[in-house]
Amino acid sequence: MQLKKTAHGQIAFCADTPAEISPEWFTEAFWRRQNCVIGSSSGRNITWFVEHNHQRWALRHYWRGGLIAKLIKDAYPFAGYENTRAFAELQLLEQLYAEDFAVPKPVAAHVVRSGFVYRADILTTLLPQAQDLVGLLAERALTGDEWQNLGQLIAKFHQRGVYHADLNAKNILLSEGQFYLIDFDRGELRDAAPDWQRSNIERLLRSFRKEKTKQPALAFDDTCWQQLMVGYQQINPLALRD
């Protein structure tokens, strides 16, 4: 990860990122002026999809969550660029991508400092023909093998000590037959301990059940979860043992 100073902050960027990258690249308005916006995600916090020189990227702004978001939408306390959520996520993605984990290829992150606070954005490569798991399950059921493959994928992350702070069904994508995890904001590498791994898995199950409540026709039930856990335990059997 390399750094580039800007008028009001810094850009961190990875290998193969165009040298001319600038703060404007982290704004929707810039890409709209170039007629390069090719889509967006649905939901409360939009991720913009853009195209540049035959490369397709996902542009995501860092928004506050929880009750504090009612007062402070997107500002975070500044304690050094290396401690910002954007730079930490980019660095984690860069390491995981180099180790061939199923994550989007990182591109760059931008931090704008304003006194004691900062705001930030991140660019990652857009996975081809990707669909989040909730959208996919609204259209079709996964096979038993697919559920087991997903379980194995999550177990491999856990074995490596990868903690995903928001492991939910919408942060799992299927792209060209391969499952990926996205959105590693507040993610980190930890010792591979059963307590947080179990909590992480339980969070994912709550996510599926919540989405099922919203969409009763969603192709998810206890059998699906059991198949996912079969795959998980094939790779990481000790994590969920009582």
DSSP string, 212-236: HHH-TTSS--HHHHHHHHHHHHHH-
Active site residue 74: no
Position 5 pLDDT exceeds 70 = yes
Question: Side chain identity at 69, as an amino acid letter?
Answer: A
Residues 198-241 have pLDDT tens digits of 999 999 999 999 999 999 999 999 999 999 999 999 999 876 66
- Please identify which residue in the block is written with the tokens 């699906």: 224
pLDDT for the residue 242:
52
Could you list the beta-strand ranges (E) of the chain. 2-5, 9-13, 37-40, 47-52, 55-61, 76-77, 106-114, 117-125, 131-132, 162-163, 172-175, 178-181, 188-189
pLDDT higher than threshold 80 for residue 76: yes
Predicted pLDDT of residue 43: 66
- Point out the least confidently predicted range of 36-50, 62-76, 147-161, 172-186: 62-76
CA 75 – CA 25 distance, rounded (Å)? 19
Which DSSP symbol is given to 142? P
pTM reported for the whole predicted model: 0.93
- Gap between the Cα atoms of 223 and 148, Å rounded: 11
Question: Residue 74: exposed, middle, or buried by beta-carbon count in 10 A (0-12, 13-18, 19+)?
Answer: middle
Q: Which of 166, 185, 191, 222 is catalytic?
A: 166
Q: Which of 74, 60, 4 shows the shortest CA–CA distance to 27?
A: 60
Q: How far apart are the first and last CA of the chain?
A: 40
- Over residues 157-198, the pLDDT tens digits come to 999 999 999 999 999 999 999 999 999 999 999 999 999 999
The per-residue pLDDT for 241 is: 63
Average pLDDT of the chain, as a whole number: 94
Residue entry with tokens 């994590």: 239
Structural contact between residues 30 and 24, judged by C-beta atoms closer than 8 angstroms:
yes
